[in-house]
């Protein structure tokens, strides 16, 4: 059983407004895309109108999100429900932040690389590292959602990088939907990474950064750690040792 809380109308409305502004939609434009009155968008954003399941699916599609990302509060589980009694990973915020910057620096300019692809690159970097070294690289927790693994601390780190003017966030039209893009304003501090760290990161970028969002989403869905995890639960790192050949990096 997952223990996520559902956003109430006010919280959901605030989230929809946040994403609408990030994607550069006016209320009028969003209402046109959804074929509902502009007044309905205004009421939804103020928390004074419930969102139907159909409208929720439309919002998710327009904002390139899963329904879960809109519906549930973005909280990291404190209990991983691991079969073993091993210590939970300790999140290394500094290292995660620099790896995210490094990814944006190296492949963020590719037309196919938006937020969805970056989520998956971070996941494969962390899980490939664990498979090869049996220890954590960043210790980030990844939740199983509809569109693949999602890093729990991403929004927090994104906010810090934006506020410190280390990245810019923008959106572009890509294959008939809006895609979130990041532009690096500083170089990543790779002094926090060992040569081995960087080798594994570069390998993931080389192998996977040419995939579009749908391709890397499908690829992640077939990875055993994701595949065996119940919906909305935290993905267990230990499951990397049962990977299929198509995902395993043990020979790398």
Looking at the structure of the chain, the number of domains it has is 2
Q: Is residue 195 part of a domain?
A: yes
Do 128 and 227 fall within a single domain? yes
Closest CA to 70 of 4, 117, 157, 119: 4
User: Domain with 42 in it: what CATH number?
Assistant: 1.10.260.40
Dump pLDDT digits (tens) for 58-90.
998 888 888 888 888 766 644 444 444 456 789
Nearest to 213 by CA among 69, 110, 144, 141: 110
Domain span at residue 63? 9-71
Measured on CA atoms in the order 129, 131, 135, 141, is the torsion positive or negative?
Answer: positive
Structure tokens at 5: 């809380």
Confirm whether 99 is domain-assigned: yes
Residues 155 and 224 reside in one and the same domain: yes
Phi, psi of 35 (to 5 degrees): 60, 40
10-57 confidence digits (pLDDT tens)? 999 999 998 898 888 899 999 998 999 999 999 999 999 999 989 998
Average pLDDT over residues 221-228: 97
Predicted confidence at residue 79, as pLDDT, reads: 44
Query: Which H/E stretch holds residue 193?
Result: none
What is the pLDDT at residue 80? 45
Helical segments of 209-246, H only = 213-221, 224-227
Residues 127, 225, single domain; the answer is yes
Domain match, 105 and 213 both: yes
Residue 143 and residue 48 in one domain: no
Structural contact between residues 186 and 166, judged by C-beta atoms closer than 8 angstroms: yes
Last residue of a domain, one of 39, 71, 103: 71
Are 28 and 113 within one domain?
no
d(CA 77, CA 207): 30
Cα atoms in the 13 Å half-sphere on the side-chain side of 236: 19
Task: Count other C-beta atoms under 10 Å from residue 101's C-beta.
Answer: 23
Mean pLDDT of 152-172: 95
For the cut 70, the answer to whether the pLDDT of residue 1 exceeds it is no
In a domain, 209, yes or no: yes
């Amino acid at each position: 059983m997952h223990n996520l809380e559902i956003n109430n109308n006010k919280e959901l409305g605030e989230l929809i407004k946040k994403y609408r502004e990030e994607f550069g939609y006016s209320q009028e434009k969003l209402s046109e895309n959804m074929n509902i009155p502009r007044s309905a968008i205004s009421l939804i954003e103020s928390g004074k109108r419930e969102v139907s399941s159909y409208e929720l699916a439309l919002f998710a599609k327009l904002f390139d999100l899963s329904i879960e990302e809109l519906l549930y509060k973005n909280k990291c589980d404190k209990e991983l429900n691991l079969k073993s009694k091993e210590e939970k990973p300790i999140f290394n915020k500094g290292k995660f932040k620099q790896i995210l910057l490094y990814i944006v620096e190296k492949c963020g300019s590719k037309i196919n690389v938006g937020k969805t692809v970056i989520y998956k690159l971070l996941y494969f970097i962390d899980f490939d590292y664990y498979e090869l070294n049996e220890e954590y690289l960043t210790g980030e927790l990844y939740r199983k959602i509809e569109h693949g693994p999602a890093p729990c601390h991403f929004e927090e780190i994104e906010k810090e990088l934006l506020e410190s003017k280390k990245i810019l966030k923008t959106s572009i039209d890509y294959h008939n939907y809006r895609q979130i893009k990041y532009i690096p304003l500083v170089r990543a501090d790779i002094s926090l990474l060992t040569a081995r760290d960087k080798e594994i990161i570069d390998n993931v970028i080389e192998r996977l950064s040419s995939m579009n969002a749908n391709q890397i989403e499908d690829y992640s869905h077939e990875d055993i750690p994701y595949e065996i995890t119940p919906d909305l639960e935290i993905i267990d790192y230990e499951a990397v040792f049962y990977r299929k050949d198509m995902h395993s990096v043990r020979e790398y």
